[in-house]
Amino acid sequence: MAALINVPAKARRGDVIEIRTLTSHIMETGFRHTADGRLVPRDIITSFTCRYNGTEIFRADLFPAIAANPYLSFFTVAKESGKFEFEWTGDNGYSSTASASITVE
């Protein structure tokens, strides 16, 4: 499982809609040590973006204090039918994408 997305399938034009996302990631802080004293290297998601029909509508920077499997929810206004695209990027070249469609009436 890469990511979970919850975007309403339908909305009326002008409605405020909630978007929820959850992606599986260990979010290793880089502050922990193994039993034999070696540092566990940092491995986190550092950035999340959401585009609505190509326009960025939401961005978040993530930091080591954020727990594993980051859950983000935010609101936007349903303007037109189309596609939401989500992207997570992070340490070690991590990149993951997802998308969801909406019909606006």
Partner 1 sequence: MSTRPVTRRNAVLGITAAAATLARPSISRARSAGLVVVVGGGFGGAACARALKRANASLDVTLIDANRVFTACPFSNEVIAGLRDIQLQQFSYDKLAADGVFVVSETATRIDPQQQSVTVEDSTSFFYDRLVLSPGIDFHVEALPGYDDAASEKMPHAWKAGAQTLLLRRQLEAMDDGGTVAIAIPANPSRCPPAPYERASLIAHYLKTKKPRSKVLVLDAKDNFSQQRLFEKAWKELYGDMIERIALSQGGRVTSVDAPTKTIVTEFGNYTPDVANVIPPQRAGHLAQIAGAADATGWCPIDPVTFESKLAPNIHVIGDACLGGGIPKSASAASAQGKACAAAIVSLLAGRAPEAPRLTGVCYTTVAPGYGFSLAGNYRPRGDIFAEVEGGATSPVDAPRELRAREATEAERWFQTITADTFG
Q: Quote the CA–CA distance of 80 and 103 in Å, as a whole number.
A: 7
| In the complex, minimum distance from the CB of residue 67 to partner 1, in angstroms, rounded to a whole number | 9
Strands lying side by side in the sheet with 16-23: 3-6, 16-23, 71-77
Q: Which helix (H) or strand (E) holds 95?
A: strand 94-104
Among 4, 39, 40, 77, which residue interacts with partner 1 (rule: CB under 8 A)? 4
Q: Does 69 bind partner 1 (CB under 8 A)?
A: yes
From the centroid of its chain, how far is CA 84? 12
Q: Quote the CA–CA distance of 103 and 78 in Å, as a whole number.
A: 9
Q: Smaller CB distance to partner 1: residue 31 or 71?
A: 71
Among 2, 39, 68, 77, which residue interacts with partner 1 (rule: CB under 8 A)? 68
Q: Smaller CB distance to partner 1: residue 76 or 79?
A: 76
Q: Does 99 bind partner 1 (CB under 8 A)?
A: no
Among 2, 10, 13, 24, which residue interacts with partner 1 (rule: CB under 8 A)? 24
Under rule CB under 8 A, how many of the chain's residues touch partner 1?
10
Q: Smaller CB distance to partner 1: residue 3 or 60?
A: 3
Q: Quote the CA–CA distance of 5 and 84 in Å, as a whole number.
A: 10
